[in-house]
């Protein structure tokens, strides 16, 4: 695209997307800007605002995707993020995204947003799905009733996307702000009229609000507006009228809770708008496919076995399919090491590049196929809407461990990466529920631990059993996490867990483009980590394992007396009861930076020495030959439990509320990891 000559390109149009969970805001941004955002069908995917910049009609647009929120008055962490941004930040236009198939519920937020008195456009998303279900929506009639420009769109088919952006441009360029056409019940309208009439008679003006808008703000007890006029002379005359008006409202509704009264009004208005603007086609009734599928997948007896079968199948595929390209990747790095090694005469430099960089990074990249398969499986479960149903299904089971079903979302996200999992706990309103969930997320083995599991499963088990072993490891970690949740609930975070309420989205068929975007971004992040952070770590580990130089030709003696060996020897007494030698101790310690570095460290430490012959110089064979089975079991258990990587630890500290919680997490996970590894080691012996 050529640079724009329009002066408007110098002043970006700041647009925010606001809407309830599962309305497709992230998909809509993708459709408008061709950007890459993660999309999921459950509450909590977008836990922070995401900013995307692009151009449309030679105008720079800065678009902010806010977390899904059912109400501006919500109390969850993500709802607070949305509310604070809506109330306190500067922006030009709100695009309120609603689900066309659930119009009544979605309009409740629309009516709240309208009271912000900002420029706004209503996007009826998923319009294609509504038509398939025989739902016919009169967008122009909605616009006439609300006063909000309304566009029917589909993020999936891109229907109405250009019209939506054009409407946003028009609203932005128009100096006048559109006024609300909403009418309330007679009791409310009567007192609005009284307050409005008083303000008209006083000819009172405040910013660009008209007197009706000011009257509504006063009656709904809008705190910023009250604060703005409280010290004005008019407030002394206004106060008796407000008291009288509010008394009328209280007597009509038999409650003094303004939020409750406002909610009742909005529910009535939303139902009225739907009745006036929505028709259901008689020849095309909504399909009951979702209900039929749910009867099977969330069946009281069959639901959990079906979920476990899906997870078992995923891990089988992860190992079986992932093993096919692994041989080629391994051979490729072996050829690269030989080719590069032959062209470098200097022994030290050759060792750095071949034994350090190529061997270390290659050991990590080797497991990229397994990572991709795992992420494809998780992405399919998320985007189809199945994950939300599993959360509902496991609610009763989770209650036995002091949690509720909504904790499942961040926990299962932890199978991919702990960082977004920690952030997803913001969907939990109860602080104790949130802290317990934060503390046990590390027990859900992240994707970075998968290469370690695959390495050891491949070394000690037959290929046909390795997939089952992966499944057992992940399930064992999850079950141990739930047991620890119960322990924390009974000891540190005492209290009752809250009831579980969660929306059930429709089943949707994910597009290949969507799955590609989700998986490719994660795979690319994995490769970037291998090419940057892990590359630096492998160089550092190589240096620490080769210096200071000893006057010996025995590589084992050189390695044992290196800086790395000295560090390992120092911590070896702590790990010795678990069956670990200093090499495994060092691997665990480097894993505190990133779990992928554990494999890189093992690749450097176990691919050198006299014990590894030319016939078995692969890391897999070296692990099998040099590590006893009981030690391997103990090592896997420790990896499964101990502190997550540095990046995840920093996010944990931020989400939990301080670094003191990180210290608690370190002590908690290390103690549990040591005890469970000790038990596993002695049982395996």
Check whether 612 has a pLDDT greater than 50.
no
What number is the average pLDDT over the span 353-376? 83
CATH number, domain 7-173, options 3.40.640.10, 3.50.50.60, 3.40.50.170, 3.40.50.300? 3.40.50.300
Name the strand (E) or helix (H) holding 94: strand 93-99
Q: Are 130 and 101 in contact (CB under 8 A)?
A: yes
Model confidence at 143, in pLDDT bands (50, 70, 90)?
Answer: very high
What number is the average pLDDT over the span 516-528? 81
Residue 523, number of CB atoms within 10 A of its CB: 16
Q: What is the DSSP letter of 178?
A: P
Model confidence at 39, in pLDDT bands (50, 70, 90)?
Answer: very low
Q: Are 122 and 89 in contact (CB under 8 A)?
A: no
Indicate the pairing of strand 50-56 with strand 59-65. Answer: antiparallel
**pLDDT at residue 544 in the model:** 85
What number is the average pLDDT over the span 68-90? 81
Model confidence at 43, in pLDDT bands (50, 70, 90)?
Answer: very low
Between residues 435 and 21, the one the model is more confident about: 435
Tokens 């692969």 correspond to what residue? 618
Q: What is the DSSP letter of 10?
A: G
What number is the average pLDDT over the span 336-340? 89
Nearest to 315 by CA among 509, 447, 511: 447
**pLDDT at residue 196 in the model:** 92
**pLDDT at residue 474 in the model:** 93
Take residue 161 and report the two structure tokens written for it: 């996307």
Check whether 604 has a pLDDT greater than 60.
yes
- Mean pLDDT, the chain, rounded, equals 84
Percentages helix, strand, coil for the chain (3-state, rounded to 5) are 65, 5, 30
Model confidence at 83, in pLDDT bands (50, 70, 90)?
Answer: confident
**pLDDT at residue 8 in the model:** 47
Alpha carbon distance 482, 678 (integer Å): 20
Between residues 678 and 287, the one the model is more confident about: 678
Residue-wise pLDDT for 255-278, tens only, equals: 888 888 888 889 888 988 998 899
**pLDDT at residue 36 in the model:** 55
Q: What is the pTM of this model?
A: 0.69
What number is the average pLDDT over the span 338-362? 84
Check whether 42 has a pLDDT greater than 50.
no
Q: Are 96 and 70 in contact (CB under 8 A)?
A: no
**pLDDT at residue 499 in the model:** 59
Take residue 316 and report the two structure tokens written for it: 């089988």
For CA atoms 483, 485, 489, 495, give the dihedral sign: negative
Cα dist from 281 to 133, 157, 271, 277, 285, whole Å: 8, 22, 19, 13, 6
What number is the average pLDDT over the span 484-507? 76
**pLDDT at residue 129 in the model:** 86
Between residues 139 and 430, the one the model is more confident about: 139
Residue-wise pLDDT for 631-665, tens only, equals: 999 999 999 999 998 888 988 998 888 899 999 99
**pLDDT at residue 670 in the model:** 96
Least confident segment among 100-109, 334-343, 489-498: 489-498
Alpha carbon distance 682, 685 (integer Å): 5
**pLDDT at residue 150 in the model:** 95
Q: Are 645 and 593 in contact (CB under 8 A)?
A: yes
Residue spans of the domains in the chain: they are 7-173, 186-254, 303-497+509-684
Check whether 323 has a pLDDT greater than 90.
no
Check whether 45 has a pLDDT greater than 70.
no
């Amino acid at each position: 695209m050529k640079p724009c000559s329009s002066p408007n390109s110098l002043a970006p149009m700041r647009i925010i997307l606001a809407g309830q969970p599962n309305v497709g805001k992230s998909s809509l941004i993708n459709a408008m800007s061709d950007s890459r955002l993660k999309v999921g069908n459950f509450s909590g995917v977008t836990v922070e605002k995401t900013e995307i910049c692009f151009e449309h009609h030679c105008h720079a647009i800065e678009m902010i995707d806010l977390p899904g929120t059912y109400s501006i008055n919500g109390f969850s962490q993500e709802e607070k993020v949305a509310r604070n941004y809506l109330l306190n930040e500067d922006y030009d236009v709100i695009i309120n995204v609603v689900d066309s198939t659930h119009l009544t519920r979605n309009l409740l937020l629309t009516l709240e947003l309208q009271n912000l008195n900002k420029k706004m456009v209503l996007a009826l998303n998923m319009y294609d799905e509504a038509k398939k279900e025989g739902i016919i929506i009169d967008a122009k009639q909605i616009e006439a009733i609300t006063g909000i420009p309304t566009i029917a769109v589909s993020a999936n088919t891109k229907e109405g996307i250009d019209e939506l952006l054009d409407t946003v441009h028009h609203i932005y360029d128009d100096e006048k702000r559109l006024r609300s056409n909403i009418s309330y019940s007679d009791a409310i309208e009567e007192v609005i009229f009284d307050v409005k009439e008083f303000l008209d008679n006083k000819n009172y003006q405040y910013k660009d609000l008209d007197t009706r808008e000011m009257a509504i703000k006063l009656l709904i007890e809008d705190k910023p507006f009250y604060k703005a006029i409280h010290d004005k002379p008019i407030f002394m005359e206004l106060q008796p009228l407000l008291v009288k008006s509010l008394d009328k409202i209280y007597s009509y509704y038999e409650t003094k809770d303004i939020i409750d009264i406002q909610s009742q009004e909005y529910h009535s208005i939303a139902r009225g708008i739907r009745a006036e603007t929505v028709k259901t086609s008689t020849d095309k009734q909504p399909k009951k496919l979702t209900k039929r599928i749910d009867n099977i997948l969330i069946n009281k007896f069959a639901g959990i076995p079906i979920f476990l079968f899906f997870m078992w199948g995923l891990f089988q595929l992860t190992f079986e399919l992932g093993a096919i390209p692994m041989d080629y990747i391994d051979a490729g790095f072996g050829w690269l090491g030989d080719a590069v090694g032959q062209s470098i005469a200097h022994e030290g430099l050759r060792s750095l590049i071949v034994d350090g960089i190529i061997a270390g990074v290659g050991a990590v990249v080797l497991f990229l196929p397994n990572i991709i398969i795992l992420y494809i499986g998780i992405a399919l479960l998320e985007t189809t809407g199945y994950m939300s149903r599993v959360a509902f299904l496991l609610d009763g089971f989770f209650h036995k461990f002091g949690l509720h079903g909504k904790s499942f979302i961040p926990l299962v996200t932890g199978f991919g990466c702990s960082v977004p999992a920690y952030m997803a706990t913001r969907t939990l309103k109860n602080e104790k529920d949130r802290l317990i969930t934060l503390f046990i997320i590390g027990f859900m083995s992240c994707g970075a631990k998968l290469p370690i599991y695959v390495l050891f499963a491949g070394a000690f088990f037959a290929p046909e059993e390795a997939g089952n072993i992966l499944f057992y490891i992940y399930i064992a970690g999850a079950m141990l996490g739930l047991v620890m949740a119960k322990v924390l609930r009974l000891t540190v975070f005492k209290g009752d867990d809250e009831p579980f309420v969660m929306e059930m989205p429709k089943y949707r068929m994910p597009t290949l483009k969507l799955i590609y975007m989700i998986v490719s971004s994660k795979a690319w992040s994995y490769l970037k980590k291998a090419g940057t952070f892990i590359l630096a770590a492998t160089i550092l580990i190589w240096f620490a394992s080769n210096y200071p130089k000893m006057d010996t030709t025995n590589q084992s003696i050189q390695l044992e007396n290196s800086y790395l060996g000295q560090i390992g020897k120092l911590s070896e007494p702590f790990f010795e009861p678990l069956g670990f030698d200093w090499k495994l101790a060092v691997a665990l310690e480097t894993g505190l930076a990133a779990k992928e570095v554990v494999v890189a460290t093992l690749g450097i430490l176990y691919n050198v020495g006299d014990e590894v012959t030319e016939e078995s110089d692969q890391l897999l064979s070296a692990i099998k030959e040099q590590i006893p089975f009981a030690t391997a079991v103990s090592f896997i258990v420790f990896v499964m439990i101990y502190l997550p990587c540095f990046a995840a630890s920093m996010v944990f500290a931020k989400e939990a509320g301080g670094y003191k919680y990180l210290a608690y997490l370190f002590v908690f996970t290390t103690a549990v990891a040591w005890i469970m590894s000790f038990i596993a080691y002695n049982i395996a012996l």
